[in-house]
Structure 1
Amino acid sequence: MKPASPRRSFGSQDLVYRVSGTRWDEALPMGDGCFGAMMHEEEGAFQWTLNHLDLYHAPWNIVEFPSPKFDLRDLARQAEAAHRDLRHPAHQYYAKILNPQEFAGYGTIRRGARLNLGGNFRIETRRPVADAIEFEQRLDPLAATVDARCRWERGELRLRAYVAHGNRTLVIEAESSAPGLVRRLVLRQIPSPYRAASKSGAEGAGFWFTDAFRPLNPKLSPKIRATVAGEVLGFRARVRRGEGVLSAAVPKTARKFTVLLTIAVDESRKDSTAAARRTLADARARGPLELRRRHLRHWRTFWSRARIALSDPFLERLWHLNLYALACSNGEGAREKAQAAGLNGLWDVKNPNGWGSCWYWDVNIQQTYWSCFTANHPELARPFHEGLREYVPAAKRWAREFYEARGIAADFPLPLSHCVWPWCAQILWWGWRYSMDESFLRETAWPVIREVLVFFEDFTRYDRRGRVVLFPSISPEQGPLGPNPTILLAALRYLLQAGIAASARLGENRVQRRQWRRLLARLPPLPVGASAEFGETLRDSEWAAPTLPLAHPSLLMPIYPLAEIGPDATRRMRRLARNTLRYVEARQAIGTFNFGWLSGAASRLGLGDEAARILYEKGVAYLLRPNGLMAEETDRYIQNCHVLSDPLYHPSMMECCGGIVGAINEMLLQSRDGKVRVFPAPPSSWSHARFHRLLAEGAWEISAEWRDGRTTFVEIRALAGGVCRLVVNGRAIPIRLSAGGVRRLALAGAASRPPTRKRSPDGPLCYTTPSRRRVFLGKDATCEYLRGLDNFLFDYQLGDLPVPRATKYKFDFGPANVSRKNYARVVPQQIFHENKIGADFYRVSPNTLYTPILRYGWEDSRGLEAKDRRGPDDLRRDFVGGHGSAIFRLDLPRGQYQFLFLTGDARAESWTEIEAPDAFQWRPRRPLRAGEFALEVLPARRTTDSVLRIVLRGVRARPWRLNALMINRIP
């Protein structure tokens, strides 16, 4: 197969796996906005889990919510009484007043949510993929394709998969170099509690499942029918039907074939089967070649809109991968608009998950779409704009019934969280500011902005000094029930300014504008407090403690994404903002929506080094999976809400896509305060950076390059025209252009130097964070080895609590005469409580015999050998081994332990079996080739203080090898 996309001057952004056994949570994403798949290789088969947002969201597609049953006056009395009582638990969390029943029982059942997944398609090979001599999976986000290659001794299988844009079809092209490599094709249903009926069918080369699904609430949403259908091109498929399974054997002579798969969703009165078969017939008529041409044309156009190149290839690749993932799953094309991308987009693979992927109002849905404007893809926010308007009738009804007010209830559907609709309306306003499309302003943004502000006309109260009091109100998921949350004041101030500007632009009601100006003038200043630890900072609300523990970074709203406090603020306000950032970082749990918000705020304050550090240390180091997406549970972390839940399968989170792209955008270009700031916060570790056609407010496309600490090139394109207030290298440069105009700036020192052309590294990427954690994009044997070491030795983040690893032993096996090693290059130093240094390695040679004083060693040295291969690193370079069996003895007090074994030989084949009687037994599933190593972690429980005997032996006449052994005690 030829490469799916041509080389580009900005370089490849491929995500590469070079080891088999890709788990479901490492699957590679593809999609067209509302239909897609996650591809992985597990259980001996290449798998695609299909999904469609109309099917996935169907049970939870609810836009009506009952009005609250609270009495506002009674709530206000309770809030004031709690404020006077310094010991009241509601100081920390308003739910102690709003939902006291939540805390009344013994515990809570958290079983997670099950949604409708489309189906699972598999290509099963005759030989295990794990036995392949070479393996590679490669996601090319620039071409939106996944290529897989698997080579055995007697042949090679190549696969290419993509969701054909414009055809709503997953296309899988297979090509074998030898006959008989593929055994069969399988389509499986995925169990759903909402499935009411199911039928399967097959005709010619086509096959399908058609299911009827019940909604979660039959009164609010209709029953739907969905068909998952496929067709095989290239051989005559004979489909066998089983319970929830359709399969077709692949003839040994079929060395090249194509599979087409789709999902059609409709209400029960429609024929989804016929719709699915029409989609496949259209794809078949076009043929794979034309499908691929149209698909590549779409993605070339997409990436021509904006690109970046950084001297930090890790962040550069993350930016491209996450913008690609957002484009694949932003909700475009879905018939049901109310959930947009939802919480998890198309990336759910297994049930049950943590939340149910619907529109979550208190940061998740907003942050998903924050980044698409500066990334020059405002069209990606269209599903948000359409989805928000779906809720308007219910929000107006809420205002009438609960508040006896006009307009849109600002807290719908989260009672008393009045920041919600001003927050969402920001994204409508940005749709106008980044496009300057007056029809969008008039028809889409203005009606919502106006109705939200009309609500505040009725809801707002005033104190004796005539200042606005927004009470009772809350900040999302934290703090007391009280007046004037910071996030609400900032969001309302911004929306009032937007509403006044929009009204004037459209020639709307002058009287109403004057009323909004009065309301704006009477808004109180942001709440400020002070503490010994952080100094003067913003408070989360007027009644919040200055050091309140935080679930959300809500009080950063005036800094980012808004710009009430920015680079041009007074010295006191800039200092207050920096102190606030320190406070939020220190009191904020690690989470999927926190790191991007914190990093963006740091960039707004010009703190590029802090922005990059936070991005890595508060997000990437814990949340990142090898596929470039992030989730609420990884090998290193689990989110607070899930610590005490049932075991769940946590899909990747869409808010992380928006969070990381948005945070990187802020280092490169800012324009929220009316000035277009080029490279406002590049980290000092960057030697160069370049971006092409990022978008600024006012509809200005900006391209620029930064080298050696200064901007060397800028190009401005006017999409709408006007005056661009450019800030470059600390200098303000006003530029007037008509629509379509272009201006290139000749900057000092740049004339004689051509723009940097960059070749991105190919293959998996590894980056070491300031705290010495290694993070990875993609997978190969070395990445997996290093990841295994780090996961075994570094703290595990249990919610907001770091759980240290209690490593009791580290053994390094090899010859006695090997010179002193630098272990820190392979195994980062363990440090506990900042000043307790972790264990060093004990060196074990064949002559290290067990004694009760030494407490570890060989039972007998006969037959043992030790060799030093001098590579590939200080832990894998040498070993102790043999051809017979040997016993390593070790004193262990009673308790629970984890054992990490490292085995392999840089120059020769080996196969090691490890057994501890009554504890564990393990060996690799096949011999390890020369240069291959296996790292395995095994649990053991010791009920008495005793000597553990670990037996090592070779398998099937191969020698055994032991490079290292480490032991953690489990509390």
Structure 2
Amino acid sequence: MELWYKEPASYWEEALPLGNGRLGAMVWSGAKQEKISLNEDSLWSGYPQNHDIPGAREYYRQARRLAMEKKYEEAQALLEQNVLGEFTQSYLPLGELTLDMVHPEGEIQNYRRLLDLGKALSRLQYSAGKVNYVREMFVSAPDQVMVMRISADRPGMVSLKAGFSCQLRAEVSTEENRMILDGIAPSQVDPSYVDSPDPVIYEEAPEKKGMLFCAVLAIEPVGGEVKRLPEGLEVSNADSVTLFLAARTSFNGPFRHPFLEGKPYKEPCFRELLAAQKSGYDRLLERHVKEYQQYFNRVCLDLGPGREDLPIPQRLADWEKDVDPGRYALLFQYGRYLLISSSRPGTQPANLQGIWNQHMRAPWSSNYTININTEMNYWGAETVNLPEMHEPLMDLINNLRVSGGKTAEIHYNARGFVSHHNSDIWCLSTPVGNRGKGTAVYAFWPLSAGWLSAHVYDHYLFSGDLDFLRQTGYPIIRDAARFFLDVLVENEDGKLIFAPSTSPENQFIYHGKPCAVSQTTTMTMAIIRETLGNAAACCRLLGTDQEFLAEMEAALERLPEYRIGSRGELLEWNEELEENEPTHRHSSHLYPLYPGRQISVEKTPELAEACRRTLELRGDESTGWALAWRVALWAHLHNGEKAYSILKKQLRPVDGSDPMNYRQGGGCYPNMFGAHPPFQIDSNFGSCAGIAEMLMQSTENEIALLPALPRALGTGMVSGLRTRAGVTVAVNFREGRLEKAELKGTRPKEREMTVCYKGRKKKVILKEGMSVSLTEADF
């Protein structure tokens, strides 16, 4: 479980990521100059602001009437001119730490750098002259510091100069053996795709100032001496050097001003550094590895021998060949590693780039894109046994209930809460777009609260935790459902729909021109059906809100059925319309197949066949995250060979020297970060989830073993996967056939469930502490 290389990173997408959920580092590992790109997950531009548009509800009603009359262009123009507000704020880079190394004369030889996924540790080794050097680095969750040790096999041979640089307004100072970066974030950063004469703004009025931040580096040599320089610190002739770094911001929650009501941020850094220095490198490393492995070691995946003797670029170069099945186990575990490293209880949720961003104006602001990308980050969290890493998303959703409750009332005259396609650390819930023509295709999409609430319900299903459901889950799901109940309107067939509606980022041809707004869409109604169904299930489980339950049951009876088009495909909009881009990256209308569970091969074969036809028409080429979605969709159609053929494309090398080239096609960069392109971490998480879905799928009462196992990955084992049925699963398989499955119950109460394998079914009864073993002969 290593990513290793023979050369240092020459650009950011070759550097290797470390993180503790909050503090992130990209390690470049140059022998002569170490560069570490730093991030802190709460460092964003801006401050809490209200972007709700007074009077928007009236324009929404007018647009609904126009859509019901099929005046789609007029409805779209009305929405774009009157209800689309400000863009989100931007996730920002903290800065860069550089270490200029002094070596004895001689060539750099025996160079090797790696990221050890099993220990969440980066390591560099090389020789200069006749001296062998080693650098080890990790970011500790238990001690909340970044730690690096630089050592040589000869005394007095470690010398370096350390410096900070920062793209934000900041100053660098030194005191004793410490270097301090102290700064302030901008009040406003416009998205990179907005042509703005002044895209980065620092306000002077206190009520408009951005958040404060600092990073503090402490250097502790063994032997040698530390000298303060105007621009940093210098270490001379040490036997070894340990560096400790802490970083914090004044962020104090999404609804408190970070300048006027901010948290203390300097004092915690100094406290954390002092505690870390007192513990020392070995103890810190021991604590870090032990804490990390309690999560990482829960799941083991072996898909056969890999070419671990080759560096990653060479392993990726053979992406089309079935010669290295170990690559897919590495891709799977890398997704788990990245989730542990970018999303921990108490941190911010993983954003569009996890926690790793080098740009002042990152692609799509590195925000929370909640029309799929944020959700995809967490698709696998429960199944791959990382439920704790799901918690930051629950916190974001809970906060969106507050801002989204106001938006629901002002924009839609509705109860509950709503959010649209973008959010940020300030929990923006309004539609963005800033009244731009053509922006409704992505900006007018009031469905994300429903999709996000499905994550909350899944968190309950996997855990069986009724206290969580009662206290946290149900209030979120209830309020998402209330919004939908209030906006449903009767169509000409007497069915209840949400109008007007869009299918994320896709358009159809109407009156000879591209148009995005229709009466309703398949995805819209799928999310509403799922949300109402989940809320109704909560009412029954908790024995509460019976009138509300009756209202939802009545509405569910009146929702329209999914429709199949003339080509045998599942229709994307409420009527058959010509697609503007037939191979569009979004597969939004296949939501009820996955991540939803309304369509399945077994229970709705006709609709499943329509989904299959839709995927054929969409094609197999797309951006990174869209490929990941198609892997999972084919897996849910039980087509392992097709899922695998698309999974292979996730390892297709993409040139990171031009990472902003959107036209390169999906794949991955040399550090195995997912290439949209540019870098988006959702395809890493989506690929991890897709591989899990190929090996095991679950509902509340059923577990499917090896539903989409391809021939090329036909021999191996997986253990530690979790199910919605309250069971953990281990499976051994050989040449595409089940050898042995072990199911262990995790719930106190005895439950019956159905285990499925190749169309055959077996009933089992399990509770906590019980296990059952099954072989192919048992089916």
Question: TM-score range, shorter-chain basis?
Answer: 0.7 to 0.9
Distance 1:62 1:246, change over 3 A: farther
- 1:181-330 equivalences under 5 Å are 181-192=157-168, 195=169, 198-216=170-188, 223-235=210-222, 237-242=225-230, 245-248=231-234, 250-252=235-237, 254-266=238-250, 267-268=258-259, 271-311=264-304, 312-330=325-343
| 2:20 equivalent to 1:32 | yes
TM-score by length of 1: 0.67
For residues 615-668 of structure 1, the C-alpha deviation after alignment (integer angstroms, 9 at most, x for no partner) is 223x43265979xxx9765894489xxxxxxxx998742312221111111101
Q: Distance in 1 between matches of 2:389 and 2:48?
A: 21
Q: Distance in 1 between matches of 2:606 and 2:549?
A: 32
- More deviation, 199-208/474-483: 199-208
| 2:652 equivalent to 1:621 | yes
Q: Distance in 2 between matches of 1:186 and 1:464?
A: 70
- More deviation, 124-133/450-459: 124-133
The structure with the largest alpha-carbon Rg is: 1
Report the CA distance between 1:223 and its aligned residue: 3.8
Q: Distance in 1 between matches of 2:562 and 2:206?
A: 43
Q: Distance in 1 between matches of 2:659 and 2:542?
A: 43
User: Where does structure 2 lack aligned partners over 5 or more consecutive residues?
Assistant: 189-202, 251-257, 305-324, 421-428, 432-442, 508-515, 668-674
Report the CA distance between 1:708 and its aligned residue: 1.6
Report the CA distance between 1:98 and its aligned residue: 3.7
| 2:394 equivalent to 1:409 | no
Where does residue 677 of structure 1 map in the other structure?
Answer: 704
For residues 330-368 of structure 1, the C-alpha deviation after alignment (integer angstroms, 9 at most, x for no partner) is 25433xx5xx22211221134442222222221111111
Q: Distance in 2 between matches of 1:444 and 1:220?
A: 33
Report the CA distance between 1:503 and its aligned residue: 0.5
- More deviation, 364-373/13-22: 13-22
Report the CA distance between 1:80 and its aligned residue: 5.9
User: Where does structure 1 lack aligned partners over 5 or more consecutive residues?
Assistant: 1-12, 103-109, 640-647, 751-971
Distance 1:181 1:651, change over 3 A: farther
Report the CA distance between 1:271 and its aligned residue: 4.6
Report the CA distance between 1:288 and its aligned residue: 0.9
Instruction: Give the percent of matched residue pairs that are identical in Structure 1 and Structure 2.
Output: 20
Where does residue 469 of structure 2 map in the other structure?
Answer: 441
Q: Is the 8 A contact 1:434 1:699 kept in 2?
A: yes
For residues 144-193 of structure 1, the C-alpha deviation after alignment (integer angstroms, 9 at most, x for no partner) is 0001001134211100000122111111011112356544232212122x
Distance 1:367 1:537, change over 3 A: same
For residues 119-155 of structure 1, the C-alpha deviation after alignment (integer angstroms, 9 at most, x for no partner) is 2122222359994121110100110000100113421
Where does residue 605 of structure 1 map in the other structure?
Answer: 637
Q: Distance in 2 between matches of 1:649 and 1:545?
A: 28
SS of alignment partner, residue 230 of structure 1? strand
TM-score by length of 2: 0.82
Aligned length: 693
* Higher RCO (Cα < 8 Å, 6 or more apart): 2
Q: Distance in 2 between matches of 1:329 and 1:362?
A: 20
The one-letter code of the counterpart of 2:181 is F
- State the superposition RMSD in angstroms: 3.2
Structure with greater strand percent:
1
- 1:517-532 equivalences under 5 Å are 517-530=553-566
- 1:552-701 equivalences under 5 Å are 552-585=586-619, 590-617=622-649, 619-621=650-652, 633=661, 636-637=664-665, 652-672=679-699, 674-701=701-728
SS of alignment partner, residue 251 of structure 1? strand
Q: Distance in 2 between matches of 1:749 and 1:67?
A: 64
SS of alignment partner, residue 171 of structure 1? strand
Distance 1:650 1:281, change over 3 A: farther
Where does residue 448 of structure 2 map in the other structure?
Answer: 420
Q: Is the 8 A contact 1:600 1:611 kept in 2?
A: yes
SS of alignment partner, residue 733 of structure 2? strand
The one-letter code of the counterpart of 1:733 is K
Report the CA distance between 1:740 and its aligned residue: 2.5
Where does residue 348 of structure 1 map in the other structure?
Answer: 357
Distance 1:130 1:454, change over 3 A: farther
Q: Is the 8 A contact 1:53 1:331 kept in 2?
A: no
SS of alignment partner, residue 293 of structure 1? helix
Structure with greater helix percent:
2
Q: Is the 8 A contact 1:563 1:673 kept in 2?
A: no
Which one of the candidate residues 756, 762, 769 is aligned to 1:727? Answer: 756
Q: Is the 8 A contact 1:45 1:129 kept in 2?
A: no
Q: Is the 8 A contact 1:200 1:241 kept in 2?
A: no
For residues 772-807 of structure 1, the C-alpha deviation after alignment (integer angstroms, 9 at most, x for no partner) is xxxxxxxxxxxxxxxxxxxxxxxxxxxxxxxxxxxx
For residues 478-515 of structure 1, the C-alpha deviation after alignment (integer angstroms, 9 at most, x for no partner) is 23312221111111111222111111110112222111
Q: Distance in 2 between matches of 1:428 and 1:114?
A: 26
SS of alignment partner, residue 50 of structure 1? strand
SS of alignment partner, residue 555 of structure 1? helix
Q: Distance in 1 between matches of 2:104 and 2:345?
A: 38
Which one of the candidate residues 376, 379, 394 is aligned to 2:403? Answer: 394
Q: Is the 8 A contact 2:703 2:725 kept in 1?
A: no
Q: Is the 8 A contact 2:39 2:355 kept in 1?
A: yes
Q: Distance in 1 between matches of 2:209 and 2:233?
A: 32
Where does residue 466 of structure 1 map in the other structure?
Answer: 494
Q: Is the 8 A contact 1:625 1:634 kept in 2?
A: no
The one-letter code of the counterpart of 2:607 is M
Q: Is the 8 A contact 1:26 1:40 kept in 2?
A: yes
Q: Distance in 1 between matches of 2:106 and 2:460?
A: 52
Q: Is the 8 A contact 2:106 2:129 kept in 1?
A: no
- 1:172-187 equivalences under 5 Å are 172-178=148-154, 181-187=157-163
